[in-house]
Amino acid sequence: MKLNLKMIAAAVAMVSAAGAANAALTTPATGNGSVALFAFNTVTRDWYIRDLGFLMNDFLPSSVTSLSGNGGGTGTRTPETGLLLNPSNTASFADVSFSSWLTGQSVSDIRWAFSSADATGTSTTTNVTRAITSSAVDLNPTNGLMSNYASSGNSGTLATFFNETGATLSATGAGATSAFDTNFGLGGASLASLNESVGLFYFARTTGTGSTAVAATKVQYGNTTGFATVTLEADGDFVYNLAGAPVSEVPIPAAAWLLGSGLIGLAGMARRRKAAAQA
């Protein structure tokens, strides 16, 4: 199931153009950070950030049930029937600012990633640091990398950039930090190019503290039909593609059966006439 998330309603974009400020991104320090997308030019250091309209606990894989300290929620974003964002499975979002930002940029220099984090994990039994990120490669971060990713100087930096220009749901300007180049410590190879479809992952520390070298828990978004992918297209559409349940065999209409039976009957009559003529 392919769903285009044309993020930012036209009315909101008009408010943005007028210079009104939007509320800040929810930071990882809250334990339930905003789900955001960031893109930047690796040469000019121009950058772009979009609030995707969800908090972390609203965008968990269906196989994940978080600890009570992390909200205690159960994920719903990778069901066997495909992604369901809302009851009518529609998206009423349109980002008119991305194409403006991209004008004059070299598309080949643009890299992007999907990001959300929870930096409050401190207890082994009640809460652990978590992250959601897209990646062009298979990631296997440690507990230590999870804590680093969610820190205020890394994934938490998005909230700072988001408000630097008084922007609403997108922002531009030179000065992308070096943390962008490594996807906040998870590696530059995880960043995607425009129009590139990549995997989406959920990570959680195995314990709230200690054991920094131990591999973090990893769940790749997907269902038994296949893995999900996310894509930032050059026109600004953000696409989440998740396979749904296999399509059942389409029954042949009764009229088709009747037609087939009639043709068989006519063929039988022709054979009988031919046999009678030869007798």
Residue 43 — very low, low, confident or very high, per pLDDT cuts 50/70/90? very high
CB 32 within 8 A of CB 119: no
CB 110 within 8 A of CB 41: yes
**Does the pLDDT value for residue 105 go beyond 50?**
yes
**Does the pLDDT value for residue 27 go beyond 60?**
yes
Distance (Å, rounded) from C-alpha 119 to C-alpha 178? 20
Summary count for the chain: helices (H), strands (E)? 6, 11
pLDDT over 90 for what percent of the chain?
47
Residue 262 — very low, low, confident or very high, per pLDDT cuts 50/70/90? low
Distance (Å, rounded) from C-alpha 269 to C-alpha 208? 81
Q: Is 44 left (phi over 0), alpha (psi -120 to 50) or beta?
A: alpha
Q: Which amino acid is present at 187?
A: G
Q: Is 277 helix (H, G, I), strand (E, B) or coil?
A: helix
Neighbours of 218 (CB within 10 A): 13
Q: Kindly give the residue spans of alpha helices, DSSP state H, lying in the chain.
A: 10-17, 98-102, 143-149, 157-164, 178-181, 254-278
Cα 68 to its chain centre, rounded Å, is 24
Cα 122 to its chain centre, rounded Å, is 27
pTM, two decimal places? 0.80
Distances in whole angstroms, Cα of residue 119 to Cα of each of 77, 132, 255: 22, 12, 62
Res 141: pLDDT: 97
Res 166: pLDDT: 46
Domain limits of the chain?
A: 2-246, 249-279
Res 277: pLDDT: 58
